[in-house]
Amino acid sequence: MKKTYIVLAIVFVGLLSIVGWFVGTNNRFVEMKGNATKQWANVESSYQRRSDLIGNLLNTVKGAADFERNTLTEVVEARAKATSTTIDASQLDAAQLQAFQAAQGQLSSALSRLLVTVERYPELKANQNFLELQSQLEGTENRINVERNRYNNLAGDYNIAIKKIPASIVANFGGFTEVALFQAESGAEAAPEVNFNF
């Protein structure tokens, strides 16, 4: 009789340990994915700041007489597309992230052309408001890069954790799936640099 109680106690403790491990692992995945999702919001916030700065920059440039309207139109259209491309952070997959990156890349390209065109307008290059916006834009581009790297670190750690055995059992049971990471666009290694120091 005593042996039966001991065996039952061992089985009970074993089951309790397994349930505790399962719950703990599940909660760790929830926290890791939540941190990655929260960091994604920081990435979007940085991109929003860039969009706002570009809007102010455009307003400054529009004031310049005979500035190339095609260049302005390209930036306005790319900015509209970039701000309308949204991602559900809870379902962040490679296709959504690729569409988001493509829209942001188009905006970066159009902005580069705008800043190169400014070279021909000495009154803009001397405009203090324009110079301040350029400086803020440069800082924002750096902030975007930092936020994307932080996101990739958190998302990468989460992606690794849900694949490790035996934790992958909990991930499969709990429906935890990989989240997409930022990757360099093809040809990015040859992308033209934006020179903010005119």
pLDDT, one tens digit per residue, over 55-102 is 888 888 877 656 677 788 888 888 888 888 888 877 778 888 888 888
In a domain? residue 54: yes
Q: Tell me how far apart the alpha carbons of residues 64 and 94 are, in angstroms, rounded to a whole number.
A: 41
Whole-structure pTM value: 0.80
In a domain? residue 164: yes
- Cβ neighbours around 30 below 10 Å, total: 12
> Residue 74's domain spans which residues?
2-190
Q: Tell me how far apart the alpha carbons of residues 117 and 72 are, in angstroms, rounded to a whole number.
A: 10
| For residue 143, pLDDT beyond 70 | yes
In a domain? residue 59: yes
* pLDDT band per the 50, 70, 90 thresholds, residue 191: very low
CATH (domain of 30): 1.20.1440.20
- Cβ neighbours around 65 below 10 Å, total: 6
The type of residue at 111 is L
